[in-house]
Amino acid sequence: MKHWRMEDIAWDRFEAAKAAPEVLPLIKAAALVERNGREYAGYLCRVFDADAELCEAVRRWAEEEVQHGEALGKWAALADPAWDFHGARDRFNAGYKPPLDSETSIRGSRTGELIARCMVETGTSSYYTALADACQEPVLKQLCRHIAADEFRHYKLFYDHMRRYQAQERIGSARRLMIAAGRIGEGEDDELAYAYYCANEPASKPYERARCSAAYLSGAMLYYRFGHIQRGIGMTLKAVGLPTHGRLPAVAARMAWWWLDRRRNRLTRDLKLPARVSA
Ligand SMILES: [Fe+2]
Ligand SMILES: [Fe+2]
Query: Would 9 be classed as within a structural domain?
Result: no
The CA 147 to ligand 1 mean position distance, Å, reads 6
Query: Would 6 be classed as within a structural domain?
Result: no
Query: Would 4 be classed as within a structural domain?
Result: no
pLDDT, tens digit, 9 for 90 and up, residues 91-112: 999 999 877 777 777 788 999 9
Query: Would 10 be classed as within a structural domain?
Result: no
Angle at which helices 190-200 and 24-34 cross, to 10°: 120
pLDDT at position 272 is 66
Which pTM value belongs to this model? 0.93
The CA 247 to ligand 1 mean position distance, Å, reads 31
The CA 246 to ligand 1 mean position distance, Å, reads 30
Average pLDDT score over the chain: 92
**Residues that place a CB less than 5 A from ion ligand 1:** 34, 65, 68
Looking at the CA of 67, which ligand is closest?
1
Full residue range of the structural domain in which residue 255 is found: 17-271
> Who contacts 124 (Cβ-Cβ below 8 Å, separation ≥6)?
147, 148, 151, 154
Chunked mean pLDDT (size 10), the chain, 279 residues: 91 97 96 90 91 96 97 98 96 87 81 95 97 96 98 98 96 91 80 95 94 91 95 96 94 95 84 57
The CA 23 to ligand 2 mean position distance, Å, reads 20
Q: How many domains does the chain have?
A: 1
Looking at the CA of 69, which ligand is closest?
1
pLDDT at position 216 is 92
The CA 26 to ligand 1 mean position distance, Å, reads 14
The CA 115 to ligand 2 mean position distance, Å, reads 13
Query: Would 12 be classed as within a structural domain?
Result: no
- Nearest alpha-carbon partner for 180 in 222, 226, 241: 241
Task: Find the CATH number of the domain harbouring 146.
Answer: 1.10.620.20
- Nearest alpha-carbon partner for 141 in 7, 264, 20: 20
The CA 63 to ligand 1 mean position distance, Å, reads 10
pLDDT at position 239 is 96
pLDDT at position 149 is 97
Measuring CA to CA, how many Å separate 56 from each of 1, 44, 53, 158?
Answer: 11, 11, 5, 13
Query: Would 178 be classed as within a structural domain?
Result: yes
The CA 65 to ligand 2 mean position distance, Å, reads 6
Query: Would 7 be classed as within a structural domain?
Result: no
The Cα–Cα gap between 218 and 23 comes to 11
Query: Would 5 be classed as within a structural domain?
Result: no
Looking at the CA of 61, which ligand is closest?
2
Looking at the CA of 58, which ligand is closest?
2
